[in-house]
Structures are given as C-alpha cells and as structure tokens.
Homo-oligomer: A and B are copies of this chain.
C-alpha cells in the first residue's frame, strides 16, 4: 500500500506492531476487536483435541469451531475463484505431494485458501504472521478440520516464534513450499534450519516488507530457492490500492468522524495508486482536492485528472482534511500541524505509521483527548483542535475493512503462485525473485469475472494470428500495468 517504488524501501519490519504492517493483509473486520476475550490461560498450557482425536495444533479454544466454520462458509460465498479452483482440481491434484508451511493472518478468508490448497493435494501447517490478527474461532474450525494450526489472538513475542517453530520443526515432516506474509517464517528457517531449503521448491511472499527482504537476499546472493513476489502482480496491486482505497478512504473518514465531504478542502499527499483512489473518491463526493507529489510523472497525471498540484505549505492553513499516501516518512511534520486550522482532520492511508510525525505531538503544551475509538483530539494552548485518526497508523487498516473480494484476489494469486513454483520444470526458475507470470495474473482476473456477470470476448484464430498472440493469453507483455 505505497505510492512509490516498493522495492527500495528500507527494512520495515517486525511482527510485533500491527501498525507497521501494510494494510493489505488485513482481513479482520472491526467488529472482531469488540469480541470479548475468553479465558486467560495460555493456549500453550492447554491440551486440546479435535473431535477426531488429533492434537497437532495449538489454538485458543477448539470449542469455537462451529462458529468459525460458519464464518468460513460465509467467506466461501464471496471467494468464488478459490471455489472454482477446487472444482477444477477434482480430477488432477496439482499440489499432490506439496507440504506447505504458511505464516499469514489467520482469518476466515485464509481458511478458504488453506482448505483450497488441501483440496489441491497439499498438506499444510500454519502460524500467524501477526500477534493480534488471528480469528480464534476460525483457527478452531481449521484445527477441527485437521489442519495443524498454531496461532491465537494476543500472542506474546515468545509465543509468536514458538508457533512458527512448531510449524516447521517436526519429526518426519519437512516443508517443500513456503507461503509467507512479512518474511518472518522465511527468516526463521534461514536462521534455524538452513538445511531445510534443500528440499524447498520455492517461497511465495505477499507483503511489501517480505518482498523487500527477499530482494535484499537476492542482491546479496543469499537467496537459495526461487521466490515469487505476488505483492506486485497487476491484479493484486490495482485492487489493494486503487480500487480498495477509493472506497476505504470514505469509509474510514465517515466511521471515525462523520465528516460531510461536500465542499471540504482536502490535500492528498502522494498520487500513486492509493492517492489516485483517494482523490477520485473525494472529488466525486464534492470535495476540493489538492495533491502533492515528488515524482513529476505522477504530478502531471494529477494535473490532467483535474487536481491542483501544490506544496503542502501552500494549502496547509486552509484545508479541512490532510491525507498521506506517499510511503514516505515525516510527510506531515509538526510545523505543518502547527499551521493547520481548527478542526483539521489528519490521517494516513499510505504506509506504516511513519508519514505523520505523531511523536512530535507528544509535547507538554499539547493536550490529547480521546474522543472515540481511533479518534484523538490534539489540543493546542489556544484551543485549536486537530483530529488525529488511528494515531497516524493506516486508516484503512484501523478504521475500515478490506472487502472479501479483494482478499479473494490475493488468496487466489497465492494459490496459483504455489502451483506454478511447485510444478515448474527444472530450470524455469532460478534462485531469484520473480513476478507471477502474466498469464497466471490474467487467470486470477478471469476467475473473478463471473462475480460481475462479465463476459469476456475470445479472439478468433485470425485475430490471434494478426496480433501474434496465443488465444489463451498472455495478452500483454509482463511490464504492462
């Protein structure tokens, strides 16, 4: 979720802070944060079995399996692409023999992915990539269904690594595929079980952070298996950023502040895909939108799309809302915050929690007042209030939801990347980081068209020949966006 070059970002990592993770992983609806915590015993101290007597898992409470199953069934209805993959796999099992170790958010949507992988022939062991994001009921349903899941909501750091270790460190079972989200699983195997890579056919990684780590490994010559960067597939990028943010900027602002968009002056910092989505939505709702950019090409696009391109200092005194989407740090610094007008709303749609210099607001003369969940008023000595959302963390992660449809695209892309790496003939992939082949990216898209009752046109033989294309694609060169 950044506007800019995702590959040259410095290391941004850690599993401890949910706020430092790109929002694109998030499948947790807000309501979950309201769920009452159950008992306080650590899952590591419990002995649980599923109804078939299996105990190779560690979760909060196996009794929540039924509730979790229902959540999974609802998610299945909105993930038709994975369900289609299952159907096609009834004959062949493209992942037969695959032993997948995974480390992702554990949500109903992930469960649909895991059960799809199993239907395609894979064995799966799974840990959570974030200490807060596990849906305990879903984890229970998975465990009940026979999956070896090690995850619960509210893990400690020690728990976190313990769970990952339990996934990979098993007598008589060695993974041959890695599905990672953030790079922690990969990192752990590198550190603890480097020999395991001899049998591993590839890594599928979906986060900006994890992809960055892989490119660093590759650059340093230390990547010892092929890796698939699914974060940068066209379909995923467009949906995570442009289309998803076009809706979540409105949703996030409304849920937190009830602000009326009509007539408001807004400055959007950064005109990458996220910025484009935010600007389009707010313009459509009757806001007057200004844009800041560092890249002249994106800047020129902003102009042609009808936005005044300004420096932040030019408009900071007059705007009602400030939105950051740059992927950069310290875009909104104290000096700007000092100059904003009373009631100005400040939020971050871009990246991590670095874009707004929130730390600079922790000074004695400023008063903080929590007015709602995720909404703080920061009050200046003269009474001026700035409305800070999600303490500068990602608004769309904190105050909105990611539609299941978007998660479906991500999960389908992951499944296809696993299939491709697992089945690729020797030599197709070297010890490097690859983008998903264009044709598979197109396939992900095609699996989602029925949702919209959309009817694709097929090339005639004559047309395919004229264009020099295969009738089944790929239809564009790899770099086409």
Residue of A297, A318, A354, A401 with most chain B CB atoms under a 10 A cut-off? A297
Identify which of A46-54, A82-90, A177-185, A249-257 touches chain B. A249-257
Contact with B along A339-374 (1 / 0, CB 8 A): 000110000000000100000000000000000100
Q: Is the CB of B243 within 8 A of A247?
A: no
Smallest beta-carbon distance A198→chain B, Å: 32
Smallest beta-carbon distance A232→chain B, Å: 9
Complexed CA–CA distance, A340 and B294 (Å) = 30
Q: Is the CB of B8 within 8 A of A467?
A: yes
Complexed CA–CA distance, A327 and B287 (Å) = 28
Contact with B along A222-253 (1 / 0, CB 8 A): 00000000000011001100011011001100
Decide: A449 near B296, CB < 8 A? Known: A263-B303, A306-B286, A462-B330: yes
Decide: A303 near B454, CB < 8 A? Known: A247-B260, A342-B77, A476-B5: yes
Q: Is the CB of B296 within 8 A of A443?
A: yes
Question: Which residue of chain B lies nearest to A12 when distances are taken between CB atoms in the complex?
Answer: B466
Q: Is the CB of B467 within 8 A of A304?
A: no
Residues 445 to 481 of chain A near chain B (Cβ within 8 Å): 445-446, 448-449, 451-460, 462-463, 466-469, 473, 475-477, 479-481
Set B295, B309, B451: member contacting A473, Cβ < 8 A:
B295
Decide: A401 near B299, CB < 8 A? Known: A288-B308, A453-B265, A467-B9: no
Q: Is the CB of A306 within 8 A of B328?
A: no
Complexed CA–CA distance, A479 and B237 (Å) = 14
Interface: A194 (CB within 8 A):
no
Identify which of A59-67, A128-136, A152-160, A277-285 touches chain B. A277-285
Set B262, B441, B446: member contacting A247, Cβ < 8 A:
B262
In the complex, what residues of B have CB within 8 A of residue A469's CB? 5, 8
Question: Which residue of chain B lies nearest to A307 when distances are taken between CB atoms in the complex?
Answer: B288
Q: Which 8 pairs of residues, A with B, have the shortest CB-CB distance? A: A284-B284, A309-B454, A296-B446, A296-B445, A260-B403, A263-B303, A262-B304, A481-B481
* A and B contact pairs by CB, cutoff 8 A, 11 listed: A4-B476, A234-B297, A262-B304, A263-B454, A294-B456, A296-B443, A296-B449, A299-B446, A309-B452, A311-B457, A312-B457
